[in-house]
C-alpha cells in the first residue's frame, strides 16, 4: 500500500493578512476540516495549464507544448502555441462573458416581469435612473409615463443579448473616438448570444487559427459583457432596487451575531438577496426568531451578492471569496443561501461539518448534498421564507461551538458614478469637471480601478491592500469593486480619515470633499460603473478624446475566475492598461503574448500587463498614468519619480 504523504505544516500568517480568516483557519485545522488554502498547498498548479500551453479541443490530443521552447512543437493538427493559447484565452473570455451576461439576463427577466405586470414583489424604485438610462440610448422621456418608458427600455435592452446584427444599445454611451476605433477594427459587439456563439465556433478544432483574428473576437465578446450584459445588470438593478449612495456599513466576520439567527447570502444576482431582505425584515419571521430564543434575524452578505447590497442598503458583509469557508467555520451561520458563481463545492462539506443549513436556490446551480429550494422572481418569498424558517430551526439546536472573531471594520460604501458626479460637482453643477480639473492640475495623478477576486495562490488580501496603499500614496485615486473592495474595507481604507495615507494632492481633494481615497462601487458587474465614469471623463473634456488617452489604469491582482479575464479584456479593448497578478495564461516571448501586451496598444486600444508583487504592479500602473499625463501635456511641475529600489527598501 502506498504510504500517505505527510501534510504540509502551514503558517496561516503566510496565507492571509485577514485576522478573522487566520483565526478560523486555525480553528478548521483543530477541527480537522479542509479548506481551499490547505487544498492549494497540497495541490501544485499544473505548470503546462498555467502557461496555457495545452490543447484539449479535440480527441487527437490532448496536446502539450513546451512553454520553455514554445515553437519547438505543434499540436497533432499543427496548431501553434499562438493558436492554442489564443483559443484557450478566447474560451475563458466566452465563459466569463457568459456568466456576466446571463446574470444580466436574469435581471432583464425580472424587469420584464415588472413591465408586463407579472411580477409584484419588485417594482421600479428609481424613476430618475430609469429616465436617465432611457435618455442615454435616445429613448424619448419627456411627458411620458414611467411604465411606458420602461417597456421601451426593456425592448431596446433585450437587443444586448439577442441582436444578430448592428451595435448593442449601450454602444451609444461610448466616447465617439473610442467607438470610431472599434468600428475601424470591427469590434463593436452585436448581441452577446451571437458573440459568445461565434467565439465557441471559432475555437472549435479547425476553424479560426490566426491568433490576431481570435483576439479580435475576444475583444468583441468581452465588450458585449462590459458595455452589454454587465452594464444592463447594473443599470436595471439600480432602477429596480435603487442607485447606491454612500452609507456607512460594517465588513468582517464580527458582523455575525452569536445571539441572533445568522443568515448569509452568497453568490451574485441581487434578486435572491432583495427577497431575503424582505423575509428578514418581516415581523412574523422576526417573531419566530424571538420565540426561538434569538434577539432577531441578522442578515450578512458574502462575495458579490454581498457587495451589491452593501452598496445599496448597507447590509453588513462577512468576507470575500477566500473567507467563504472560514465564515461557515465560525459555527454561527445558521443558513447560507447561494445562487450562482464563485460558490466552492466544498462549502457543502464545510457546512455539514458545522451544522450550517446550506441552500442552493438557482436552477442553474445545484450542488450535490445541498438543500435545493428554487427561487422564482414571481414568488421569491416562498424560497426565502423557507430558508429563514430552517435557519431558525438550526438556531434552536445549534450543534457546533460558536467562535466569532469580533472584528468589524466600518467604512463608507456605495459610490455610484452618479454619486461621484454629484459629490464632486454638487447638486446644481454636478459633473466630472472637478475630477478632470484635479487631474489636470496634478492633485490627482490619475485614477486606478482595483478589482477582482482573492486566490489562495497568493497571500489573501495582501496584494490588494499593499497595491492600493502604494497607489494612493502616489496620489492615484482608487475605485473598487468585488472582493477587492472587501479586502480594503477590512484594512480600514474606506474611511475618510484614510486620506492621511494618501499623497498630499489626493489628501487635499479627499479632505475638501470629505471622501475616502478609495471608493467602493459595488459588485463585479458594477465594473460597468467604471466604464461609464471613464466615458464621462472623456466627454467632460481636457483629458483627450478617447478612453485610451486618460491617465487611468486597472488591475485584478489576486484574480482567480474566468470572469476576471473577460473584465480585463473589455477594459483593454476599451482603452485601459490592465495589469493582472497571480499568473497569466500565456507564454512570454510568443507572438500571442506580445499581441496582448504590446500590439493592442499600438492599435490605439489598451494593453495587458502582468506582475505578482504589489509594488511592481503599482509602479507599472503609475508609469502608465504618467505616460498618459505626458502625452496630454499635463505633467506640470511634478517631478516624475520612477520606481526606486531605494525607496522600496526604506
Ligand atoms: Fe467571485 Fe464576484 Fe472574483 Fe469575488 S471578485 S471571487 S469573481 S465574487 Ni467579482
Give the pLDDT of residue 640: 40
Strands (E), 481-626: 518-520, 552-556, 577-580, 608-610
Give the pLDDT of residue 561: 98
Which residues neighbour 418 within 8 Å (Cβ) at sequence distance 6 or greater? Answer: 129, 132, 243
Whole-prediction pTM value? 0.95
pLDDT tens for 93-111 read 999 999 999 999 999 999 9
Ligand 1 center to 482 CA (angstroms): 6
Residues of the chain with pLDDT under 70: 1-7, 425-430, 637-650
Give the pLDDT of residue 644: 47
pLDDT tens for 11-44 read 999 999 999 999 999 999 999 999 999 999 999 9
Ligand 1 center to 442 CA (angstroms): 33
Q: Which residues pair with 262 in a beta bridge?
A: 298, 333
Ligand 1 center to 481 CA (angstroms): 9
Which residue, by CA, sits nearest to atom 3 of ligand 1?
453
Ligand 1 center to 564 CA (angstroms): 8
Q: Which atom of ligand 1 is nearest to the CA of 454?
A: 6
Give the pLDDT of residue 157: 97
562 contacts 217 by C-beta, under 8 angstroms = no
Give the pLDDT of residue 642: 39
Rounded-to-integer distance, Cα 565 and Cα 582, Å: 13
Residue 563, ligand 1, Cβ within 6 A: yes
C-alpha dihedral (436, 437, 440, 446), degrees to nearest 10? -40
Residue 322, ligand 1, Cβ within 6 A: no
- SS3 (DSSP) at 347: helix
Give the pLDDT of residue 426: 59
Rounded-to-integer distance, Cα 380 and Cα 265, Å: 14
Residue 567, ligand 1, Cβ within 6 A: no
Q: What are phi and psi of 519, to 5 degrees?
A: -105, 125
608 contacts 554 by C-beta, under 8 angstroms = no
476 contacts 626 by C-beta, under 8 angstroms = no
C-alpha dihedral (429, 434, 435, 438), degrees to nearest 10? 180
Q: How far apart are the first and last CA of the chain?
A: 54
Ligand 1 center to 625 CA (angstroms): 26
Give the pLDDT of residue 639: 42
Residue 482, ligand 1, Cβ within 6 A: yes
Give the rounded percent of residues in the chain with a pLDDT score beyond 70.
96
CA angle (608 as vertex; 197, 522 as ends), nearest 5? 75
Give the pLDDT of residue 259: 96
pLDDT tens for 334-357 read 999 999 999 999 999 999 999 999
Rounded-to-integer distance, Cα 124 and Cα 237, Å: 10
Give the pLDDT of residue 423: 76
Give the pLDDT of residue 433: 84
118 contacts 248 by C-beta, under 8 angstroms = no
Ligand 1 pocket mutation pick from 264, 342, 485, 581 by most atoms within 8 angstroms of CB: 342
Amino acid at each position: 500500500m502506498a504510504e500517505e504523504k505527510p501534510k504540509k505544516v502551514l503558517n496561516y500568517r503566510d496565507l492571509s493578512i485577514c485576522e478573522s480568516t487566520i483565526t478560523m483557519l486555525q480553528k478548521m485545522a483543530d477541527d480537522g476540516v479542509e479548506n481551499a488554502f490547505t487544498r492549494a498547498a497540497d495541490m501544485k498548479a499544473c505548470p503546462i495549464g498555467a502557461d496555457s500551453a495545452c490543447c484539449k479541443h479535440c480527441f487527437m490530443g490532448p496536446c502539450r507544448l513546451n512553454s520553455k521552447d514554445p515553437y519547438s512543437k505543434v499540436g497533432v493538427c499543427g496548431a501553434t502555441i499562438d493558436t492554442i493559447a489564443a483559443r484557450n484565452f478566447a474560451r475563458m473570455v466566452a465563459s466569463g462573458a457568459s456568466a456576466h451576461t446571463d446574470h444580466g439576463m436574469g435581471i432583464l427577466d425580472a424587469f420584464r416581469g415588472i413591465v408586463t405586470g407579472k411580477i409584484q414583489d419588485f417594482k421600479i424604485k428609481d424613476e430618475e435612473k430609469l429616465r436617465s438610462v432611457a435618455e442615454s440610448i435616445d429613448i424619448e422621456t419627456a411627458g411620458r409615463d414611467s411604465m411606458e418608458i420602461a417597456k421601451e427600455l426593456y425592448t431596446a435592452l433585450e437587443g444586448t443579448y439577442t441582436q444578430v446584427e448592428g451595435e448593442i444599445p449601450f454602444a451609444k454611451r461610448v466616447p465617439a473616438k473610442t467607438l470610431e476605433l472599434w468600428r475601424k477594427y470591427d469590434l463593436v459587439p452585436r448581441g452577446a448570444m451571437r458573440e459568445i456563439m461565434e467565439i465557441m465556433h471559432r475555437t472549435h478544432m479547425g476553424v479560426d487559427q490566426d491568433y490576431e483574428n481570435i483576439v479580435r473576437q475576444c475583444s468583441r465578446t468581452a465588450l458585449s459583457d462590459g458595455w452589454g450584459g454587465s452594464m444592463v445588470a447594473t443599470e436595471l438593478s439600480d432602477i429596480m432596487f435603487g442607485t447606491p449612495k454612500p452609507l456607512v456599513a460594517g465588513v468582517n466576520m464580527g458582523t455575525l451575531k452569536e445571539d441572533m439567527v445568522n443568515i448569509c447570502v452568497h453568490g451574485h444576482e441581487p434578486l435572491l438577496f432583495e427577497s431575503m431582505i424582505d423575509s428578514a425584515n418581516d415581523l412574523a419571521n422576526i417573531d419566530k426568531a424571538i420565540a426561538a430564543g434569538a434577539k432577531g434575524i441578522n442578515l450578512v452578505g458574502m462575495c458579490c451578492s454581498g457587495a451589491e447590497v452593501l452598496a445599496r442598503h448597507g447590509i453588513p458583509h462577512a468576507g470575500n471569496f477566500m473567507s467563504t469557508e472560514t465564515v461557515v467555520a465560525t459555527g454561527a451561520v445558521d443558513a447560507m443561501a447561494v445562487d450562482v458563481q464563485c460558490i466552492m463545492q466544498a462549502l457543502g462539506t464545510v457546512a455539514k461539518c458545522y451544522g450550517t443549513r446550506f441552500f442552493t436556490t438557482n436552477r442553474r446551480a445545484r450542488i450535490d448534498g445541498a438543500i435545493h429550494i428554487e427561487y422564482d422572481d414571481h414568488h421569491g418569498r416562498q424560497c426565502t421564507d423557507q430558508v429563514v424558517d430552517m435557519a431558525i430551526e438550526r438556531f434552536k439546536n445549534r450543534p457546533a461551538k460558536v467562535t466569532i472573531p469580533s472584528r468589524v471594520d466600518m467604512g463608507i460604501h456605495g459610490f455610484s458614478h452618479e454619486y461621484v458626479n454629484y459629490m464632486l460637482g454638487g447638486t446644481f453643477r454636478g459633473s466630472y469637471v472637478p475630477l478632470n480639473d484635479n487631474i489636470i492640475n496634478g492633485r490627482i495623478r490619475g485614477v486606478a480601478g482595483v478589482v477582482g477576486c482573492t486566490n489562495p495562490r497568493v497571500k489573501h488580501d495582501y496584494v490588494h491592500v499593499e497595491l492600493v496603499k502604494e497607489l494612493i500614496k502616489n496620489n492615484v485615486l482608487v475605485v473598487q469593486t468585488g472582493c477587492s473592495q472587501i479586502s480594503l474595507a477590512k484594512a480600514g481604507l474606506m474611511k475618510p480619515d484614510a486620506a492621511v495615507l494618501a499623497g498630499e494632492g489626493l489628501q487635499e481633494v479627499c479632505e475638501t470633499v470629505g471622501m475616502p481615497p478609495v471608493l467602493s462601487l459595488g459588485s463585479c458587474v458594477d465594473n460597468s460603473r467604471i466604464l461609464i465614469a471613464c466615458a464621462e471623463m472623456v466627454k467632460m473634456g481636457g483629458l483627450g478624446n478617447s478612453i485610451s488617452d486618460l491617465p487611468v489604469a486597472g488591475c485584478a491582482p489576486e484574480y482567480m475566475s474566468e470572469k476576471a479575464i473577460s473584465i480585463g479584456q473589455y477594459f483593454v479593448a476599451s482603452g485601459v492598461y490592465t495589469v493582472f497578478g497571480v499568473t497569466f495564461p500565456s507564454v512570454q516571448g510568443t507572438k500571442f503574448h506580445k499581441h496582448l501586451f504590446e500590439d493592442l496598444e499600438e492599435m490605439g486600444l489598451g494593453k495587458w500587463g502582468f506582475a505578482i508583487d504589489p509594488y511592481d504592479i503599482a509602479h507599472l500602473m503609475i508609469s502608465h498614468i504618467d505616460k498618459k499625463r505626458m502625452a496630454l501635456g499635463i505633467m506640470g511641475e511634478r517631478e516624475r519619480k520612477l520606481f526606486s529600489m531605494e525607496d522600496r527598501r526604506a
